[in-house]
Amino acid sequence: MTERVVLAYSGGLDTSVAIPYIAQETGAEVIAVAVDLGQGGEDLEVIRKRALACGAAEAVVADAREEFAADFCFPALRANALYMDRYPLVSALSRPLIVKHLVAAAERYGGTTVAHGCTGKGNDQVRFEVGLAALDPGLKVIAPARDFAWTRDKAIAFAEEKGLPIDVSSRSPYSIDQNLWGRAVETGFLEDIWNAPTEDLYAYTADPARPREADEVVITFTEGVPVALDGRALGPYQIIAELNRRAGAQGVGRLDMVEDRLVGIKSREVYEAPAAITLLAAHQELENVTVERDLARFKRGVDQRWSELAYDGLWFSPLMDALNVFVAEAQRHVSGDVRLTLHGGRAVVTGRRSGASLYDYDLATYDTGDTFDQSLAKGFVELWGLPSKIAAKRDRVVG
C-alpha cells in the first residue's frame, strides 16, 4: 500500500508546492487538510480544489469555527490568557486544534506521516510536532521548509516548473496569520523594530484616531463563559465575530510588541484582536467582583503559567489538564454582566453586576449606613505588622 502523508494545508505558495514536492521526494500520496478557524479571506472550497489541482490524493476542509470558539478561545478567556501580559495567543490557540484534525485525517486515510509548512525559526513547528506526539506518538513528521532547506525562491521556481495553479507574482510584504481570535503580522519592514506600523498593516481594526460615536456593549457571562451580548443570547462563534466587528470598528485590540519566542530569539509582532481584548477586559473585571481575594491572587499565577504552556505548544500536557481543572473551579461564581464603552482604540469597563458578587455596598460605603466596624482595624493593623516590627527590633540589636 502506498504511504500517505497528511499535510496541514493553507492554500498558499509554500503548502501548495509541498504537495508535489513531498510526493516527488517520498513517493507518498498527499492528503491535504485545511481547517476553517474563522480566518476569512479565500473560500475554503477554492482552497480544496487547489489542493487537488496541485496533486493531492484527497483534500479535506474542516469547518472548525464553533469548535475553535468554544473549546480553545473561551478556555483561554477563562484563564485570562495573555503571553507576556499582552499577547492574546492568536496563533498559539489555533495550532492544537489543527493538530487534532490532522490526527483525525491520518486515522481516516491511513496516513503514517504528517507534514507542515513551518520553518525552523518559529514557534509553530514546536506546537505542531509536540501536539502530534501527544495525540499519536506513532506518526512521523516532515517539514519541507525546515527539513529540506526550502526557500521562497526555490518554491517559486518549483511551482513554475510544475505549472501549479497558484499566483506567485503578488506577495504581501508581511507574514500574516489570522483566525477568529485575532490577526498576527510580522516580517517585512517590521523587522526593524524602530519602524512604526503603517495603516495598511491592519484589516480587523479601523484607525482608532478617526472621530466616531462610541459603542456601548453589555457582555453576560455564566461561569466565566460569555453567553450574551446586550441581552441577546448568542453562541461562542457569534459572540466573538460580533465583537470583532464592533470593537474592530472602534480600533480596539491593536498591539505592537517584541516577544520572546520559544526557540530563544526575540521577534517583533503586530497583532489585532478586537474581540479578544474586549472579552478579556470584561472577564477580568467580573472576576474582580466575584472571586475571593486569595483565590484571585493564586489564579493570576495560574493564568500566567497557562498562557506560557499554550504559547510553548504544551496544550496536550498533564500540567495543562490539571490547570484547566483549577480554572474551572475558580470560575464557578464568575457570572454576571459587564458594561463596556468601545471607543478610541480602548475597551473601558463602565459597569458590573452579579448575583454572586462579593462587593458589599454597606461595607464599602463611607456614607451613612456604613456597617464596617472600624474599631476592629487598630488591633488588626498591629497584629498584621507584628512580624515586621519584631524583625526590625532584632535588626537594630544585631545590626
CA 138-141-147 angle, to 5 degrees, is 150
Contact by Cβ (8 Å): 44, 36: yes
55 a known binding residue? no
Q: Is 95 a catalytic residue?
A: yes
317 a known binding residue? no
87 a known binding residue? yes
123 a known binding residue? yes
202 a known binding residue? no
Q: Which residues, 6 or more positions from 237, have their beta carbon under 8 angstroms from its beta carbon?
A: 38, 65, 66, 68, 69, 70, 180
359 a known binding residue? no
Which of 71, 136, 175, 215 is an active site residue?
Answer: 175
80 a known binding residue? no
232 a known binding residue? no
3-state secondary structure 331-354: CCCCCEEEEEEEECCEEEEEEEEC
9 a known binding residue? yes
Contact by Cβ (8 Å): 69, 240: yes
355 a known binding residue? no
Q: Is 65 a catalytic residue?
A: no
14 a known binding residue? yes
What's the CA gap between 275 and 181, in Å, rounded?
7
How many separate helices (H) and strands (E) can be counted in the chain? 15, 14
What is the rounded end-to-end Cα distance, in angstroms, of the chain? 81
Q: Tell which residue, 172, 162, 125, has the closest CA to residue 12.
A: 172
Q: Is 332 a catalytic residue?
A: no
CA 127-58-168 angle, to 5 degrees, is 70
What's the CA gap between 260 and 112, in Å, rounded?
33
119 a known binding residue? yes
Which of 65, 95, 246, 352 is an active site residue?
Answer: 95
Q: Is 124 a catalytic residue?
A: yes
Q: What is the DSSP string of 259-327?
A: EE-TTS-EEEEEEE-HHHHHHHHHHHHHHHHHS-HHHHHHHHHHHHHHHHHHHTT-SSSHHHHHHHHHH
366 a known binding residue? no
Neighbouring C-alpha atoms within 13 Å toward the C-beta of 380: 5
Q: Which residues, 6 or more positions from 391, have their beta carbon under 8 angstroms from its beta carbon?
A: none
Contact by Cβ (8 Å): 38, 237: yes
Which of 4, 65, 124, 346 is an active site residue?
Answer: 124
256 a known binding residue? no
Report CA 64 to chain centroid distance, whole Å.
Answer: 15
307 a known binding residue? no
Which of 14, 36, 177, 337 is an active site residue?
Answer: 14
395 a known binding residue? no
Contact by Cβ (8 Å): 253, 205: yes
The residues carrying an active-site annotation are 14, 95, 124, 175
List residues forming the annotated binding site for L-aspartate: 119, 123-124
List residues forming the annotated binding site for L-citrulline: 87, 123, 127, 175, 259, 271
List residues forming the annotated binding site for ATP: 8-16, 117
List residues forming the annotated binding site: 8-16, 87, 117, 119, 123-124, 127, 175, 259, 271
